Structure 1
Amino acid sequence: MAITPVKELVMRAKEEIETLSRDEVWRLAEAGEALVVDIRDPRELEREGRFPGAMHAPRGMLEFWFDPASPYHKEAFATDKKIILFCAGAWRSALAAKALKDMGGENIAEMDGGFGAWKKDGRPVE
């Protein structure tokens, strides 16, 4: 039985979701118009640093935290702001953004290049 490679799943997801430039993500975050959500593993945050002001939502809990009917729901996700997800390299965030969109989420996007590209650009890191 052949499986669909993850790279293909990511490419398909990227065709269905909105990807924002790092400049646009920063502009929206600074203007208070976005909830920026870091879905990386906690060990990655400790090792690499954090996007200033981003909410951390572990990838394994994202859908549960997003769903208002879930006992794990986080109020931060009950927002009219654009929800912008990122991971290290914009693969997990693409799949996650598609999952939230498939759940009926609106105004969902991912950050181009992920935190790796953010850091490589020399942008602010906490």
Structure 2
Amino acid sequence: MKNAHDLVAAAKARIREIPLSESESAIHAADVLLDVREPDEYRAGHIAGALNIPRGMLEFKMSGTPELGSRDLNILLYCKGGGRAALAAQTLQEMGYLSVSSITGGFDAWAAAGKPVDKPALPSFE
């Protein structure tokens, strides 16, 4: 019987991970930057330009959104630490997407490195 760690390790062996040191150039080269965390995680802070599609909805959103239907899209994913993004990248490959990768270490590594984080601004009531 496999556990979550086993599944993530197997996925990471089948996908391409982008080292944090190359992540900014990979983001600029990507057609789509996907944040596969939950909406509350995304609202707390995310990488600028990221589209939030939680991992649990990935197959449905990708299949149901014509703009995301091209299998030639260059897709870069991230999650909190890399596990969900690895599983999501493997799923996208199984769906036929040809250029899929994830950021090693995910959002936590990005933020810990002092890279820019977008957070929704609260309205000013003054």
TM-score interval (norm. to shorter): 0.7 to 0.9
> For 1:73-92, what aligned pairs fall within 5 Å after superposition?
73-78=65-70, 80-92=72-84
Q: CA deviation at 1:28?
A: 2.8
2:108 to 106, 111, 116: 116
Which range moved further: 20-29 or 76-85? 76-85
Aligned to 1:26: 24
Question: Which has the greater radius of gyration?
Answer: 2
Q: CA deviation at 1:64?
A: 1.5
Give yes or no for contact 1:89–1:117 (8 Å, CA) kept in 2: yes
**Identical counterparts, % of pairs:** 36
Q: CA offsets per residue over residues 46-98 of structure 1, 9 Å max, x none?
A: 23x0101111112121112222xxxx224145374420111000000011101
When residues 33 and 46 of structure 1 are mapped into structure 2, their CA distance, relative to the original with a 3 A threshold, is closer
Aligned residues: 118
- Unaligned runs of 5+ residues in structure 2 are 119-126
Q: CA offsets per residue over residues 15-67 of structure 1, 9 Å max, x none?
A: 1000011232211323x4441110100111223x0101111112121112222
Moved segments of 4+, more than 4 Å: none
Question: Normalized against structure 1, the TM-score is what?
Answer: 0.84
- Unaligned runs of 5+ residues in structure 1 are none
1:94 to 86, 96, 100: 86
Partner AA of 1:39 in structure 2: V
Question: Normalized against structure 2, the TM-score is what?
Answer: 0.84
